[in-house]
Amino acid sequence: GMWTVDVDPSPLAALAAQLDDVAERRFTAGAERARTLLAGRRVWNVSATATGGVGELLRTLLPYVRDAGIDARWLVVDGDEQFFRIATRLHHVLHAHPVDGGPLGAEEMAHYDRVLARNLDEVRENITAGDVVLLHDPATVGLAPELRRRGAVVVWRCHIGTDAPDGVTDLAWAFLEPSIAQADRVVLSRATYRPGFLDAAVVRVISPSVDPLSAKNRMLEPAEVEQLLQDAGLLAGDAPAGAPGDDGGPPVSADVPTGATMRAGGPVPVNARMLLQVSRWDRLKDMSGLLIAFDEGFDDLPEDVHLLLAGEEVAPHDSAAAAILADCLQMWEGLEPAVRSRTHVACLPLVDRERNALLVNALQRRAAVIVQKSLAEGFGLTVAEALWKGRPVVATAVGGIQDQIADGTNGLLVKDPTDLHGLVAAVARLLAEPAFAEQLGLAAHDRVRRDFLSDRHLLQYVDLLDELL
């Protein structure tokens, strides 16, 4: 059945202290307003995953909500393999990128409804009239009709979408429409994601955010970065005994729970300039496309540049992710030795979340250039995380990435995600022009400070609930 992710409070005051005076006062007043609004109510968040962007958002926002004295909770839906296959299919199709080509018909709908109903049965006595429920993504919106019947206030928070809907996305919307129609409000990451049948009056557009104080984003000194990455075996150096070697030899698999698992290429040499993409192993992140771009553009890049593809350790039941990772590893095997010796694939263990986040943080701070070569992206937290760290970023101009990067001002955009040459040219430019790269990085950090931190995000939720309750 549904399981609960425990959320410990994290001091709102510490976040407020990061803000300028005006923002701080606004934020503190917002927290007070939320406390009053939500007194005696529970605020449930229901998601289908505790990882990826949604997991990241809930893990960073809910501790502040709890510190405001609000009874915020987080449930994760439990389902069988078929349920998650349907959920992933809906996800890809709403991104206008059907990956498995499978159906979304009556049979899938029946299974989807059955699994969600079973999940709800197990928390029946808990979610009651007057409670607020935020349903995250297509996988959970099917709960809306029953929750409404119980008198809960229901918000559907959809983190995905496409700027160019087609016949295939219409299919997914048709699948979800009866459920979405029961939500009191729908929150989207971009205005362009609104399906035709939804009245603009029920839609609110709210961008995601990054938490400047989390393990993923907090300041790390260069020495700390070096230490973290070397200890984890991601960077060659004084690696502890048992960590993968630094000979760039065959794939090493080390079951060190707090370290990284180099799946190919061994650790990145300490004097290399690192080109980095951090992503889930999902087709839409196009890790293999980046590998091909690096291979094809190899001669246009300086000799000290190494590519690192870093993703989460693949869960045993996640065959889709395992297949994407296997693709990358197979491609790596087929690279010419010169390219292979400068290409690395790593999985970051999830057993210790704090540690995982710290490693992502350290990698992003250590990277010379960060790439996000997504084919579609609802928002792209990895981009916001990279911008926050003042890194020069090259990303494809898809979905929410366009809301974060103004091309040539705080990063570089590649218009066409299939333009491998354009991608490499942008990377090469940033490596060749460090002053330009630094200028982009400074603007990047400012951009995130102004628009994409947790305080703005939380305040928008307070405004939304203010209008609903």
Site for ligand UDP in 374-393 (CB under 6 A): 379-382, 385
Q: Which is nearer to ligand UDP, 68 or 383 (CB)?
A: 383
Site for ligand UDP in 413-452 (CB under 6 A): none
We find the least distance from the C-beta atom of residue 159 to ligand UDP, in angstroms, to be 7
Site for ligand UDP in 216-255 (CB under 6 A): 216
Number of residues that bind ligand UDP (CB under 6 A): 17
Q: How many other CB atoms sit within 10 Å of the CB of residue 435?
A: 7
Q: Are 51 and 350 in contact (CB under 8 A)?
A: yes
We find the least distance from the C-beta atom of residue 208 to ligand UDP, in angstroms, to be 7
Strand order in the sheet with 369-372: 261-264, 343-348, 305-312, 273-278, 369-372, 393-396, 412-414
For 124, counting Cβ atoms within 10 Å of its Cβ (0-12 exposed, 13-18 middle, 19+ buried), the class is: exposed
For 42, counting Cβ atoms within 10 Å of its Cβ (0-12 exposed, 13-18 middle, 19+ buried), the class is: middle
We find the least distance from the C-beta atom of residue 131 to ligand UDP, in angstroms, to be 26
Q: Are 420 and 412 in contact (CB under 8 A)?
A: no
β-bridge mates for residue 306, sequence order: 274
- Residue 235 DSSP one-character state: B
Longest dimension (CA), the chain: 64
Q: Which is nearer to ligand UDP, 31 or 87 (CB)?
A: 87
We find the least distance from the C-beta atom of residue 374 to ligand UDP, in angstroms, to be 8
Q: How many other CB atoms sit within 10 Å of the CB of residue 6?
A: 7
Q: Which is nearer to ligand UDP, 135 or 357 (CB)?
A: 357
Q: Which is nearer to ligand UDP, 216 or 344 (CB)?
A: 216
We find the least distance from the C-beta atom of residue 280 to ligand UDP, in angstroms, to be 4
Is residue 372 helix, strand or coil?
A: strand
Site for ligand UDP in 42-61 (CB under 6 A): 52-53, 56
User: What gap in Å lies between CA 144 and CA 155, rounded to an integer?
Assistant: 8
We find the least distance from the C-beta atom of residue 397 to ligand UDP, in angstroms, to be 16
β-bridge mates for residue 71, sequence order: 42
List the end-to-end C-alpha distance of the chain, in Å, as a whole number.
30
Stretch of residues binding ligand UDP (CB under 6 A), selected from 75-83, 94-102, 355-363, 417-425 = 355-363
Binding mask 277-296 for ligand UDP (x = CB under 6 A): -x-x----------------
Q: Which is nearer to ligand UDP, 249 or 257 (CB)?
A: 257
Closest Cα partner for 438 from 384, 366, 390? 390
We find the least distance from the C-beta atom of residue 349 to ligand UDP, in angstroms, to be 9
Site for ligand UDP in 300-319 (CB under 6 A): 311-312
| Candidate residues 230, 356, 402, 410; the one interacting with ligand UDP per rule CB under 6 A | 356
31 is a contact residue toward ligand UDP (CB under 6 A): no
Note the residues at the interface with ligand UDP (CB under 6 A): 52-53, 56, 216, 278, 280, 311-312, 348, 356-357, 360, 379-382, 385
